[in-house]
Structure 1
């Protein structure tokens, strides 16, 4: 089945301890847990600015439904197990990538992504709905808001599917009463990026083109997309000729005649409904100078590609470990 361009979102559409009936606590049972839970509960009520106004979460939620792209991923990173979740990247099972393997004690009910089954959502009796990286459509928000529980949608001033990993982490951390934990995760990932960049000084100032081969053809990502932001945090610079095409989208379709724009110090290729064989047999793409010279990194490992696409704090941390050596090798 061919997915809409939404499958490219952000970052890549347009490009809940012990599970007490799905309770969202962590399952940690040491003596510090009651104090930690009490501390989190003391933070409420909290108010979170969203595109649809300020949303107040009156008390620490215990039945979280995570609908937005990577919302469940982030909740798990904060020690909260959603009772329902959307599997945007089609992982199957509990809807999580390898960076979150084993974090559920009870698997969530898997829900829809673009289309919502409201009866299924309502049956979970949520006391908080997360939809922080989604279409940002008011009709979707209004549909969810009818359930009478707080809906934390895209951030104020945000655009469809372009909620950054930092914004997503901050919003979900606050909604779950996990602000301290969220701040630490952010600090740790920032430090990881810095360490990777410092360990690879050859990245500094080098140009990179983030290219996608999809079922519909070629395209390139520009600043604002999580893939490009990731590469820039490592010290690389998005190819100026591609960046110059940026308008109101993070993804630019490229015709065969424009493939020369993929030339850079290193070309990074993402495969979406396409195979590595297709790319390597494409004579026009293989003639791009950087590709021809071997300065190309193919993101054909599904786990790596999904880590990029998750644009979550845990997924990106995983990607730093896996992608950095590939880039270093491609740069030579």
Structure 2
């Protein structure tokens, strides 16, 4: 099973980004795809991009075929019998999932192996963030009831991690657990914002380092949305930043994905940007490291971990005191 060309970018950046991207913003007033029905009731019907899927009874053999669905299942106390690998990172050693099942058979990475999926003998397939095509979905739904990419609220916003959590909670008959997990993650974000009121309304560019420049993430991207949940706002211009337009990075705060401070120090233009010279920049590290991977997972397990890891650096970078040294993240 082959996925769109953009998926190759996901491998190199540990990204979870596409038109169907999952924003990390809270959506208290959102209409979730799996909000109806009593807790644990079956049959359970979950709506998604390809229509709806009915799970007749509580599934015993769960296979996660989305890019980050594994973390959601684990957060709800479900150890899948097989999973899609998260490529470009040693995901089995991710620090935010310590204590959870890690030695889970894989059914592919960037490309799913349909034969391995079938061999896992699934009762349900969870692909709430899989970027399936209709053909992909049709193939998998011929093996077992398949929950495809979740849709966003009716107001047109992109689907959030909370929509994912609700859909998976209903599919597993664990809506009550899903609500508790959601509340815990919201509380973690709330504590970080309460301790750092200076985040509110502050413009922050979340920029990936590319071979030929940078890319400022759109606010609906789950990695950028992690920061908007903390109160930051996205810059007016996003997208590809050529070497000639590095001034677009010069916002009140800059968050860099994919490179260390030491690596970028040799760039004479980048190093002279006021946001860099005044130490208002946070470096999350190279791709393939824990912080960037946690941001890419955008899950109920990874986000609290990243809050603990990154908030001290964000606090230091936003106190507007050039004498404050921004600590390393990690």
TM-score interval, smaller chain: 0.7 to 0.9
Aligned partners of 1:163 and 1:86: how far apart in 2? 21
The question of 1:100 aligning with 2:97 is answered: yes
With over 3 angstroms needed to count, the CA separation of the structure-2 counterparts of 1:305 and 1:218, relative to structure 1, is same
Aligned partners of 1:216 and 1:43: how far apart in 2? 52
Aligned partners of 1:307 and 1:6: how far apart in 2? 14
Determine the structure 1 residue equivalent to 2:140. Answer: 144
Q: CA deviation at 1:121?
A: 1.0
- 1:321 aligned to which of 292, 308, 325: 308
- Unaligned regions of 5+ residues in structure 2, if any? 1-6, 22-37, 320-330
With over 3 angstroms needed to count, the CA separation of the structure-2 counterparts of 1:316 and 1:89, relative to structure 1, is farther
Indicate the structure whose relative CO is greater, using CA pairs within 8 Å and at least 6 residues apart: 2
With over 3 angstroms needed to count, the CA separation of the structure-2 counterparts of 1:176 and 1:49, relative to structure 1, is same
Q: CA deviation at 1:195?
A: 1.4
Report the secondary structure of 1:54's partner residue.
strand
Q: CA deviation at 1:184?
A: 1.0
Determine the structure 2 residue equivalent to 1:260. Answer: 247
Task: Give the alignment's TM-score, normalised by structure 1.
Answer: 0.81
The question of 1:165 aligning with 2:161 is answered: yes
Task: Give the alignment's TM-score, normalised by structure 2.
Answer: 0.81
The question of 1:290 aligning with 2:275 is answered: yes
Aligned partners of 2:233 and 2:151: how far apart in 1? 28
Determine the structure 2 residue equivalent to 1:219. Answer: 215
Structure 2 matches for 1:185-204, cutoff 5 A? 185-204=181-200
Report the secondary structure of 1:209's partner residue.
strand
Determine the structure 2 residue equivalent to 1:129. Answer: 125
Aligned partners of 1:237 and 1:207: how far apart in 2? 5
RMSD after superposition: 2.4
Aligned partners of 1:11 and 1:121: how far apart in 2? 22
Whether the 8 Å contact between 1:203 and 1:234 is mirrored in structure 2 is: yes
Whether the 8 Å contact between 2:84 and 2:112 is mirrored in structure 1 is: no
The question of 1:51 aligning with 2:49 is answered: yes
Report the secondary structure of 2:282's partner residue.
strand
